[in-house]
């Protein structure tokens, strides 16, 4: 068994959709990034790549590559899943935390879990997503950005 930890952060800006865990969340701002800036999915990809010792998302999907401009992070997650499959790894479980002062994430978490489980080909029950605020502290508390942390466990298929 192997574990991996991922972290991602993006700035909130006007004129962008807010996509987290593959779910479009109604909000007056979205996250700035080369792709769709989905912090939860990016942290998940980094956790998976780290667990398998395959580098990070910047190595596989550089923000200088035009082909990833505006990319759907769920499509990128599917590519990470394929890399793990090539190395004979299966995902055991995922535990993630979204850190955002607003909007409220709780109503969207069931859909996030379903979307991520479908791509990873694991049961929804093997994915846990939590959300928290920072009580008005720091850049997330000041509503300047949103971050996410994810830990995963993977294992070799036998």
Dist CA 3 CA 90 (whole Å): 12
* Residue 88 dihedral angles phi and psi, to the nearest 5°: 70, 30
Binding-site residues for a divalent metal cation, please?
Answer: 8, 10, 42
Question: What's 76's DSSP letter?
Answer: H
121-150 core/surface letters (b: 16 or more CB in 10 A; e: else): ebeeebbebebebeeeeebbeeeebbbbbb
Binding-site residues, please?
Answer: 8-10, 34-35, 42, 56-58, 132-135, 139
In the Cβ-directed half-sphere of 119, how many Cα atoms lie within 13 Å?
A: 25
């Amino acid at each position: 068994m192997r574990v991996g930890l991922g972290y991602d952060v993006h700035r909130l800006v006007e004129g962008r959709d807010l996509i987290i865990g593959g779910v479009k969340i109604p909000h007056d701002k979205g996250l700035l990034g080369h792709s769709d800036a989905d912090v939860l999915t990016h942290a998940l990809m980094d956790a998976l790549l780290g667990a398998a010792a395959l580098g990070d998302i910047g190595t596989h999907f550089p923000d200088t590559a035009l082909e990833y401009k505006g990319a759907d992070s769920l499509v990128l997650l599917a590519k990470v899943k394929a890399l793990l499959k090539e190395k004979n790894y299966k995902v055991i479980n995922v535990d993630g935390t979204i850190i955002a002062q607003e909007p409220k994430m709780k109503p969207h978490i069931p859909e996030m879990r379903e979307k991520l489980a479908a791509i990873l080909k694991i049961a929804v029950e093997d994915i846990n997503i939590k959300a928290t605020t920072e009580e008005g502290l720091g850049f997330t508390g000041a509503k300047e950005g949103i971050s996410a942390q994810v830990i995963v466990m993977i294992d070799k298929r036998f």
